[in-house]
A and B are shown apart, each in its own frame.
Chain A
């Protein structure tokens, strides 16, 4: 049942915050590909709430093109302008949804200035 998995995500986020262990952060990253929208959203919110510590995990996911375009949006949601240059190449991606998400992500980052 998805509710049990959701509780697992809350626990993983708490342990990640307490221990800093990337393994628990990776569990949340993996949940971004869940079919259940609740799990996907909960994982996304917990990742953004983890802040800077989520950045390397998302960058890895971006390099592997995992969960695009969501990963692009999450990187922008962290608000760190340093990721702009990593997002930039995706703005001309062949997949129009990825390209649009990258453009939107860059726009959000720019509006943060």
Chain B
């Protein structure tokens, strides 16, 4: 059963005393946010984008809603076994043998509430580590998987966390599978389970029409001719690069609006369009925020083949692909110092596993990447 929609998270450590959907989702959010804080994601993103707090990976106001204390970056891995021994002693829990480390579930919610209270009061990297450690033994798999995802860059016991994430990829709950698979792509990109998942999804994607490529425009380009049948870029791609380019008039289009709401709506429409046209597994060539719409669509379950991103503004983690749903490669093509992306306050390069970056020897021009002359001159087809 999917989780119920949460209108407002439960602030503070109280969520750890409960086991309803809102509480479980809040606990997962707290753990993932702590992981991001310890990794210094916000600091890194602000430096990369030159942006203010509003463009941080996790906006400050959302951290405040969760009631989370600020937490400094903490690099390196801690001795998890030693830390666990101290933590379990404090709560009089049986200390597992390090030789056979089985994750016995802790049933007493007071233990989780106690550790959470300490973290919300102290706000130290030590208290954060304790919370992640104890939540690896939570009864709920979403909480366990979120704890393992958050802890994977800080624990000395990576294999143990990979086992939890691997188990999470078998969950019947889509959200748990997505978090587990995404975390695995960072923690263990060569993990066999990831390859297996891609294989399963590829088979299901192959039930669609098969080889189709489609263009998706970016912001305010819904009436631009370049991406539509007969347009210069559409014609070039159809004649010289992808003879399977979708050319019917009922091709997918979206509002082109410059807002999160417009993109979310477009992502949902794209999933519906692909289902209605039985085009699961199609390849997509996107321009600008069209790429972020596809990222959102993969999170909504869109199964696709290759993804070619042209001048895509980087807004990870707000917009990031669910790689478990992309069955071929993801290639990004862009120019140096894109001025439209600068205005958008997006990042200029992806640093995301599975996305290959290609920067053309062109400066500033956001629209150069869908110019047929640029494709010919710089041999872009060889990059995809």
Total chain A interface residues with beta-carbon distance under 8 A:
31
Contact present for A77 and B258 (CB under 8 Å): yes
Q: Assess whether A37 is in contact with B255, with CB atoms less than 8 Å apart.
A: no
CA distance A108 to B254 in the complex (A): 10
A111 to B216 Cα, complex, angstroms: 21
Binds B, one of A19-27, A55-63, A68-76, A84-92: A68-76
Contact between B364 and A3 (Cβ–Cβ < 8 Å)? Answer: yes
Interface string of A3-46 (1 = CB under 8 A from B): 10010011000000000000000000000000001101110111
Partner of A38 from B256, B257, B340, B345 at Cβ < 8 Å:
B340
User: In this complex, which of A3, A9, A37 has the most chain B Cβ atoms within 10 angstroms of its Cβ?
Assistant: A37
Q: How distant is the Cα of A69 from the Cα of B255 in the complex, in angstroms? A: 11
Q: Mark A83-113, 1 if CB is under 8 A from B, else 0.
A: 0000000000000010011001101110110
Shortest beta-carbon distance, B216 to chain A, in Å? 15
Q: Which residues of B contact A6 (CB under 8 A)?
A: 339, 364
A45 and B257 CA atoms in complex are apart in Å by 10
In the bound complex, do residue B257 and residue A104 qualify as a contact, i.e. CB atoms below 8 Å apart?
yes
CB neighbors of A among B218-233 (8 A):
219-220, 222-224
Bound-state CA distance A50–B364 (Å) is 23
Flag if B366 contacts A45 (CB, 8 Å).
no
Q: Does B99 contact A (CB under 8 A)?
A: no
Taking Cβ atoms with an 8 Å cutoff, the residues of A that contact B are 3, 6, 9-10, 37-38, 40-42, 44-46, 48-49, 69-70, 73-74, 76-77, 79, 97, 100-101, 104-105, 107-109, 111-112
Q: Is B265 an interface residue (CB 8 A)?
A: yes
Total count of chain B residues near the partner, CB < 8 A:
25
> Is chain B's binding surface mostly helix, strand, loop or mixed?
loop
> What are 27 residue pairs bridging A and B, where the CB atoms are less than 8 Å apart in the complex?
A3-B364, A37-B366, A37-B367, A38-B367, A41-B220, A41-B366, A44-B258, A45-B219, A45-B258, A45-B344, A48-B258, A48-B259, A49-B345, A73-B258, A76-B262, A77-B257, A79-B259, A79-B261, A100-B222, A101-B222, A104-B222, A104-B254, A104-B255, A104-B256, A104-B257, A108-B255, A109-B261
A37: chain B residues within 8 A (beta carbon):
224, 366-367
Which residue numbers of B lie inside 8 Å of A, CB to CB?
219-220, 222-224, 254-259, 261-262, 264-265, 339-340, 342-345, 364-367
Q: How far is the CA of A47 from the CA of B264 in the complex (A)?
A: 21
Question: Are A46 and B343 in contact, CB atoms less than 8 angstroms apart?
Answer: yes
- Name which residue of chain A comes closest to B366, CB basis: A38
Which residues from chain B contact A104 at a C-beta distance below 8 Å? 222, 254-257
Chain A nearest CB, measured from B69 CB (Å): 30
Residues of A within 8 A of B255 (CB): 73, 76, 101, 104-105, 107-108
Closest-CB distance, B268 to chain A (whole angstroms): 9
Flag if A97 contacts B257 (CB, 8 Å): no
* Chain B residue nearest to A48 in the complex (CB): B258
Closest to A100 in B: B222
Beta-carbon contact of B223 and A108 below 8 Å: no
Interchain CA distance A100-B254 in the complex, whole Å: 11
- Whether B220 contacts A44 by the Cβ 8 Å rule is yes
